[in-house]
A and B are shown apart, each in its own frame.
Chain A
């Protein structure tokens, strides 16, 4: 600098003044000559580049540039000097500069030709823009991050201008609509992305929104149509974009594809209403009740079953038991509840409830008891089922079954009538004969010893009692009566049955042999029904024996202790059962007898099943068939 007086300095200024000016400048100031040599290098330039003015002046300015700027520079200079055309002269540009230590930094450069200099000189003003670059970079990153958040959030972002043209759309928006960004930018949103029938309405809405003074986001659900003609439902939030003076210039919308959510919401609504309907049809309510307190819930049908007002809401368990459960069932329900709370955690209970109108219903409740989420209380969640109709039907079925059973007994008795009539006729005959003999004895010898009449009179008594006994058992057997369970000694029952069974065997000339095990476990049974089964089996055995003239005319009735309790068997020695008959044996109305009803075995089996026993048959080893039934022993018996 010392040896190069600066010709650019304006005349009339002292060199010191100029130096002070240059050194005070914040920007680096560098002057070069027409050959590109550095002529002036101010303080700021020294700071920026790390060169001292003394060592860099006279050096080519390209020393201050990294490649590829360095190689390009001489070309620019040359071209300017030849043609007067410059890329840089008069305009600023961003360049990259190189420090003495080889590191580089971004800088803005303004270059001017020193007027009047010949050969020409150029002055450059250089400003380090590193920090500005960083800020811009940070800003861009921030924008990218925001963009990725938007993408992550699966939100469509669309900006429309006043005319409805797409100014901006994010990746998610493109993805949902099925277009690339370039296919959408500048296009009419409504033509491109709104289903035809909705376009006018959507346009009108945009116009209205632009004309409004809304400051809050507007919310709307509207359909869009994708490139693949798929219709999607989008929930939009829209805000107005305003210019500096506050005039609306467009709309920014963020949208969420809610097609699936709406669909599942609708499905949920539908399944809820179906559940409600199903509960109403089934008369099944469900509940979630907190003990001692909490957000208890009763489904609509709970109120239907209990006949109470939904407005009253669920009531606490204690009150339910005290006010709704039938008084006769209260204690039991209370007990079972306590057990469920303290031990099992499960409730499976049938009881009656009383409605506000005084009518009562049979209900069945199934529930589980668990601690609530906060552990503060217990939650009973379960169902309440109105089973009144089912109970009635069961009762009717039971009564029907009893009537049928009774008919079956009458029918069996009918088949045995000949034998029984004979059984009553025998003592009657004996009575009549004794009495007439006694009269003749009196007539033959009036005044004779009356003690001779003693024997016939004793016999008359005996025979009258005998006839009475048959009638008593017969009546007990055929009487229409409700099922009555008692403890039964099976051997005794079989012995008692002989009075009814033997006459039938006798009139058919079949021997009835009773072979009982010395002791069999007591069973719990309805004795009349079990007698009915046994008589039916004996009847069948007699018929089978009559149909097989060559078979031994003997039927055995046995009792035995079995693995299942007590087994009673009726053993015949007749022809056995043909397979096609065996298959239908227990079918109601199936019969091989001319006068049979086909109900005997069907009724017998249902009786035995009701006693939790088994009725079956097997071949008799010596030929014939053995029908047997088993009855479970008394619990602990």
Chain B
């Protein structure tokens, strides 16, 4: 897995706004790529690339909101900072409901934008870290035998060994052995730890 530096992707149909944003972000040392339309961005989209999206909410053709929807549909996790006009608050609210990090009204203070971009990049890092952990848990869960998997499900439902033994029609002793194997294979330090890992693995995306 290649580790490219996180990039700020700017999508705005207005040349001047786009170009000035590129200059600003470069001046604070952020890698920037700019796109004149949502479609152009989507065409070159790579889910593996770390970074965030600075997206004009109103654009001819595919609007910012539509691009957000399309990204959600493909479970892309890139965080979005919307830039909006004065009259676009209802649209901004809708964008937030669909998972946008934040929005900022034009024209803006450079620091406000940079703060939001940094926040988004941090979120992207978190997302990507979480994603990595989830992958590890899932890999470990795949190493469990079917019987161990059954025990895991029942244990994380909070059932006592005796109840599990009854459910599975095995001895309580056998349940204890399976349970120890599960804890070991999953690398869980406690029952609480194990439960957290299962919840994490069940999360979508």
Contacts of A433 in B (CB 8 A): 17, 20-21, 23-24, 107-108, 110
A428 within 8 A of B: yes
User: Dominant SS at the A interface?
Assistant: helix
Q: Is the CB of B16 within 8 A of A426?
A: yes
* Minimum CB–CB distance for B72 against chain A, Å: 20
Q: A431-B107, A440-B28, A511-B60 are in contact. Are A425 and B86 (CB under 8 A)?
A: yes
Mark each residue of chain A from 504 to 537: 1 if its CB lies under 8 Å from any CB of chain B, else 0: 0011010100000000000000000000000000
Interchain CA distance A462-B26 in the complex, whole Å: 21
Enumerate B51-92 residues with CB–CB distance to A below 8 Å.
Answer: 58-61, 63, 83, 85-87
* Minimum CB–CB distance for B19 against chain A, Å: 7
A434 within 8 A of B: yes
Partner of A437 from B23, B58, B59, B87 at Cβ < 8 Å = B23
Partner of B23 from A428, A431, A434, A511 at Cβ < 8 Å = A434
Which of B27, B86, B110 has the largest count of A CB atoms less than 10 A from its CB?
A: B27
Interchain CA distance A373-B79 in the complex, whole Å: 103
Q: Is the CB of B23 within 8 A of A456?
A: yes
A418 within 8 A of B: yes
Contacts of A431 in B (CB 8 A): 20, 107
Q: Is the CB of B110 within 8 A of A436?
A: yes
Contacts of A436 in B (CB 8 A): 24, 109-110
A429 within 8 A of B: yes
Q: Is the CB of B16 within 8 A of A421?
A: no
B153 within 8 A of A: no
Q: Is the CB of B60 within 8 A of A506?
A: yes
For B, the interface residue count at a CB cutoff of 8 angstroms equals 25
Interchain CA distance A440-B20 in the complex, whole Å: 13
Q: Which residue of B lies closest to A505 (CB)?
A: B60
Q: Is the CB of B85 within 8 A of A422?
A: yes
* Minimum CB–CB distance for B47 against chain A, Å: 27
A383 within 8 A of B: no
Partner of A459 from B20, B108, B110 at Cβ < 8 Å = B20
Q: A459-B16, A507-B58 are in contact. Are A429 and B23 (CB under 8 A)?
A: no
Q: Is the CB of B17 within 8 A of A421?
A: no
Q: Which residue of A lies closest to B87 (CB)?
A: A418
Interchain CA distance A367-B90 in the complex, whole Å: 70
A488 within 8 A of B: no
Interchain CA distance A418-B17 in the complex, whole Å: 18
Q: Which residue of B lies closest to A427 (CB)?
A: B16
Q: Is the CB of B16 within 8 A of A425?
A: no
A441 within 8 A of B: yes
B150 within 8 A of A: no
Q: Which residue of B lies closest to A426 (CB)?
A: B14
Enumerate B2-40 residues with CB–CB distance to A below 8 Å.
Answer: 14, 16-17, 19-21, 23-24, 26-28
B106 within 8 A of A: yes
* Minimum CB–CB distance for A634 against chain B, Å: 37
Q: Which residue of B lies closest to A507 (CB)?
A: B58
Q: Is the CB of A430 within 8 A of B61?
A: no
Contacts of A432 in B (CB 8 A): 107-108
Q: Is the CB of B58 within 8 A of A422?
A: yes
Enumerate A454-490 residues with CB–CB distance to B below 8 Å.
Answer: 455-456, 459, 462-463, 466
A444 within 8 A of B: yes
Interchain CA distance A466-B16 in the complex, whole Å: 11
Q: Is the CB of B24 within 8 A of A440?
A: yes
* Minimum CB–CB distance for B29 against chain A, Å: 8
Q: Is the CB of A421 within 8 A of B24?
A: no
Q: Is the CB of A421 within 8 A of B86?
A: yes
Which of B16, B58, B63, B110 has the largest count of A CB atoms less than 10 A from its CB?
A: B16
* Minimum CB–CB distance for B53 against chain A, Å: 17
Which of B20, B24, B86, B109 has the largest count of A CB atoms less than 10 A from its CB?
A: B20
Partner of B16 from A463, A506, A509 at Cβ < 8 Å = A463
Interchain CA distance A429-B18 in the complex, whole Å: 10
Q: Is the CB of B107 within 8 A of A425?
A: yes
Mark each residue of chain A from 386 to 423: 1 if its CB lies under 8 Å from any CB of chain B, else 0: 00000000000000000000000000000000100110
Interchain CA distance A433-B59 in the complex, whole Å: 19
Mark each residue of chain B from 112 to 152: 1 if its CB lies under 8 Å from any CB of chain A, else 0: 00000000000000000000000000000000000000000
Contacts of B83 in A (CB 8 A): 429
Q: Is the CB of A462 within 8 A of B60?
A: no
Interchain CA distance A361-B169 in the complex, whole Å: 117
Mark each residue of chain A from 45 to 69: 1 if its CB lies under 8 Å from any CB of chain B, else 0: 0000000000000000000000000
Q: Is the CB of B63 within 8 A of A437?
A: no
Interchain CA distance A432-B109 in the complex, whole Å: 8
* Minimum CB–CB distance for A445 against chain B, Å: 10
Contacts of A459 in B (CB 8 A): 16, 19-20
Q: Is the CB of A440 within 8 A of B110?
A: yes
Partner of A441 from B14, B27, B60 at Cβ < 8 Å = B27
Partner of A456 from B20, B58, B106, B107 at Cβ < 8 Å = B20
Interchain CA distance A444-B23 in the complex, whole Å: 13
Contacts of B16 in A (CB 8 A): 426-427, 430, 459, 462-463, 466
* Minimum CB–CB distance for A413 against chain B, Å: 15
Q: Is the CB of B107 within 8 A of A437?
A: no
30 contacts between A and B (CB under 8 A): A418-B87, A421-B86, A422-B58, A422-B85, A426-B16, A426-B17, A429-B17, A429-B108, A430-B14, A430-B19, A431-B20, A431-B107, A432-B107, A433-B17, A433-B107, A433-B110, A436-B110, A437-B20, A437-B27, A437-B110, A440-B27, A440-B28, A440-B110, A441-B27, A456-B20, A462-B16, A466-B16, A506-B60, A509-B58, A509-B61
Known: A428-B107, A430-B14, A462-B16. 10 other contacts (CB 8 A): A421-B86, A428-B106, A430-B16, A431-B107, A433-B20, A440-B24, A440-B27, A466-B16, A509-B61, A511-B60
Interface residues of A (CB under 8 A from B): 418, 421-422, 425-434, 436-437, 440-441, 444, 455-456, 459, 462-463, 466, 506-507, 509, 511
Nearest 9 Cβ contacts at the A-B interface: A430-B16, A433-B20, A436-B110, A437-B24, A432-B107, A429-B106, A429-B107, A440-B27, A437-B23
